[in-house]
Amino acid sequence: MTCFGACGCYPGKRRGSSRRGAHWRIFTLKELQAATNNFNYDNKLGEGGFGSVYWGQLWDGSQIAVKRLKVWSTKADMEFSVEVEILGRVRHKNLLCLRGYCVEGQERLIVYDYMPNLSLLSHLYGQFAAEGLLDWPKRMTIALGSGEGIAYLHHLATPRIIHRDIKASNILLDSDFEARVADFGFAKLIPDGATHVTTRVKGTLGYLAPEYAMWGKASESCDVYSFGILLLELISGKKPIEKLEHGVKRSIVEWASPLLVEGKVKEIVDPKLKGMYDEEELQRVVHVAMLCAQIAPEKRPNMVEVLEMLKGKARNVEMSSVEKDDKVQHESECAGVGDEISNEKTRPAVGDEISNGNETMQNSVN
């Protein structure tokens, strides 16, 4: 992938580039300071590995979310440039919209549309969890919307894009609880003809596909696996990794699999729904989730097939086709819930290895 941050070049500043018809613009630091009341703590929406996110209001009254880099570094600047580059390329109703960015000195800020219902995580376990706003229809809307966004990245974007960090905190919700897939700092562009990219492992424990967590092989199928975990979270209200007694940890797949095999699908449902759900849709979502979360990547459906099954347009594959006795050593054995990882030992720093199934080539990231 081309690095725009390292050379000081960003969309809109490249030689010969044209911003005609662009949906984003370059902001000044002064504008964003005014919009966020100088990044006031009361405006803070959340914080992640990259930095803090603030609510803001522009001079025209429109609301924005501003992500501000915590501490400048070459690595952080790379993630910033990747996110700006990818968000500048894509446009879909289920992807978070880029409003613009700011680069001044060591300040790095990305400006997005503000999502009033914050993230899916905030409704499952966070500040809105007790309010019970996620009824069954909203959960289905979120499942389908986030799936549509990921399918766009995999099948319609040019080149194809792997997100690499699909999780509840990266699914944002607008005023109608429509899902917007967010945070493209770990995303990878996949050249035509390539089957996967072997790269440093980045993402969040509990959501990582086994082949990616162990060998750094990133492909669209890794996002499919993460989406399967997300679906199980969405219908159960459980975290991807559960801490049991005596330091034992159990993944959500290990918890759900026996219940599904024994025909106890209803026991998977979030108690906060109080039995108010569509049984046929429940069966579809659970089966699709388990198909997505299979250990072998070649057995997982692609996102177009996932959406067809979720919508009832394709016959669900019965659980017998899923390896019921699969015993994966999930990454939960080595870390806690929601930890972000960056495994610098997986590949050398010079570049990513891209495979087209027949040969391997080096794709420089410098």
Query: Can you give the residue ranges of every domain in the chain?
Result: 25-113, 120-364
Q: Dump pLDDT digits (tens) for 164-204.
A: 999 999 999 999 999 999 999 899 988 776 766 778 888 89
* Known catalytic membership, residue 223: no
Q: Dump pLDDT digits (tens) for 12-29.
A: 443 233 344 457 899 999
**Residue bearing the bigger pLDDT, 274 or 185:** 274
**Annotated active-site residue in 165, 183, 223, 270:** 165
Locate 300 and state its tokens: 């997982």
- Average pLDDT of span 57-64: 95
Location of structure tokens 């905030």: 122
Is the pLDDT reported for residue 43 higher than 90?
yes
pLDDT at residue 203 in the model: 86
Nearest-angstrom CA–CA distance, 114 and 22: 19
Cβ–Cβ under 8 Å, residues 301 and 313: no
Closest CA to 48 of 33, 69, 29: 69
- Average pLDDT of span 255-271: 95
pLDDT at residue 334 in the model: 41
Mean pLDDT check: name the lowest of 17-31, 112-126, 217-231, 280-294: 17-31
Is the pLDDT reported for residue 235 higher than 70?
yes
Q: Dump pLDDT digits (tens) for 314-350.
A: 765 554 445 444 544 444 334 433 455 544 333 333 3
Backbone angles phi, psi at 195, to 5 degrees: -95, -30
Locate 102 and state its tokens: 């700011």
Chain-centre distance for alpha carbon 1: 19
Residue 202 annotated as binding?
no
CA angle 82, 186, 222 (to 5 degrees): 135
In the DSSP assignment, the letter for residue 130 is G
Is the pLDDT reported for residue 229 higher than 50?
yes
- Average pLDDT of span 54-59: 96
Beta strands in 153-223 (DSSP E): 160-162, 171-173, 179-181, 188-190, 196-198, 201-204, 217-218
Backbone angles phi, psi at 174, to 5 degrees: -80, -170
Identify the H or E element spanning 125: none
pLDDT at residue 212 in the model: 93
- Average pLDDT of span 221-250: 95
Is the pLDDT reported for residue 360 higher than 90?
no
pLDDT at residue 196 in the model: 66
Q: What is the CATH number of domain 25-113?
A: 3.30.200.20
Do you find a cis peptide bond into 159, omega within 30 degrees of 0? yes
In the DSSP assignment, the letter for residue 314 is S
Is the pLDDT reported for residue 122 higher than 70?
yes
> What's the mean pLDDT when you consider all of the chain?
83
- Average pLDDT of span 35-39: 97
pLDDT at residue 79 in the model: 85
Is the pLDDT reported for residue 210 higher than 90?
yes
- Average pLDDT of span 109-116: 96
**Residue bearing the bigger pLDDT, 298 or 335:** 298
pLDDT at residue 322 in the model: 53
Nearest-angstrom CA–CA distance, 231 and 144: 10
Please list, residue by residue across 312-334, b when 16 or more beta carbons sit within 10 angstroms of its beta carbon and e when fewer do: eebebbebeebeeebebebbbee
Identify the H or E element spanning 73: none
pLDDT at residue 349 in the model: 32
- Average pLDDT of span 284-292: 97
Question: Which fold would CATH assign to domain 120-364?
Answer: Transferase(Phosphotransferase); domain 1 (1.10.510)
Alpha helices in the chain (DSSP H): 29-35, 74-89, 120-124, 136-155, 210-215, 220-236, 252-261, 279-292, 303-310
Nearest-angstrom CA–CA distance, 272 and 266: 13
Percent share of the chain, pLDDT over 70: 79
Is the pLDDT reported for residue 154 higher than 50?
yes
Banded pLDDT at 146 (limits 50, 70, 90): very high
**Do the bridges between strand 160-162 and strand 188-190 make them parallel or antiparallel, or are there none, so unpaired?**
antiparallel
pLDDT at residue 278 in the model: 97
Chain-centre distance for alpha carbon 227: 8
Separation of first and last alpha carbons in the chain: 8
pLDDT at residue 232 in the model: 98
Is the pLDDT reported for residue 104 higher than 90?
yes
